[in-house]
Amino acid sequence: MLQKDCCPLVIAGPSGSGKSTLLNRLFEEFPDKFGFSVSHTTRAPRPGEENGKHYYFTSKEVMQKQIENGEFIETATYSGNLYGTSKLAVENVQRTGKICILDIEIEGVKQIKNSSLNARYIFIKPPSLEELEQRLKKRKTETEESLRRRLNTAKIELEYGKQPGNFDIVIENDNLGKAYEKLREFISYKWNINT
């Protein structure tokens, strides 16, 4: 059996692949077992996003200073904005005894792999780039330009996701219910959680 606090779970995948949707289900089903590592970002909040819950919304200047001070485990630039996981964000979850979940970009994944965090890695993959585009359009959060950038980045991310050894499991999110079952199964097995 794994020590709960030794193994955070890293979830990655292209924007729009369904990471938040799947994680929201997981948090709903197991509110006492998992805690979300709240990332920092310099992007603007989307409607409904709360500071300190979905992200810590900050400025480039402030975040760059904190990075220089060594306060972050990983940082990445994505679609022109800075993102990052602070050491404090992970510690805050681990202190509660919950399994820490990190939803991060591929650049961040690479950095976590070089850090002292002994994490498990899940990649969420869309059924196709066309379907990804449709979902992002439906989500109505992107401009034409940010949509293009997300789709271009997605191609690179999908390449990284399919390299053997980069992730413990790759889950295709075609049917949401089935994808969730796979996620749940993997997690309950790895963390020895009775579901």
Ligand X SMILES: Nc1ncnc2c1ncn2[C@@H]1O[C@H](COP(=O)(O)OP(=O)(O)OP(=O)(O)O)[C@@H](O)[C@H]1O
Active-site positions?
A: 46, 139, 150
Closest separation in Å from C-beta 49 to ligand X? 10
Alpha helices in the chain (DSSP H): 19-29, 60-68, 87-95, 106-113, 129-139, 144-162, 176-190
Interaction between residue 173 and ligand X (CB under 6 A) = yes
Interaction between residue 188 and ligand X (CB under 6 A) = no
Buried-state track 113-140, b at ≥16 Cβ within 10 A, e below 16: eeeebebbbbbbbbeeeeebbebbeeee
Pick one of 17, 75, 86, 111: the residue that binds ligand X (CB under 6 A).
17
Pick one of 12, 19, 55, 90: the residue that binds ligand X (CB under 6 A).
19
Interaction between residue 42 and ligand X (CB under 6 A) = no
Interaction between residue 15 and ligand X (CB under 6 A) = yes
Name the residue type at position 22.
Answer: L
Interaction between residue 18 and ligand X (CB under 6 A) = yes
Q: Identify which of 124, 119, 99 has the alpha carbon closest to the alpha carbon of residue 188.
A: 99
- Is the CB of residue 115 less than 8 Å from the CB of residue 81? no
- Is the CB of residue 56 less than 8 Å from the CB of residue 82? no
Interaction between residue 75 and ligand X (CB under 6 A) = no
Interaction between residue 108 and ligand X (CB under 6 A) = no
Which residue's CB is nearer to ligand X, number 5 or number 49?
A: 49
Footprint of ligand X (CB under 6 A): 13, 15-21, 135, 138-139, 173, 175-176, 179
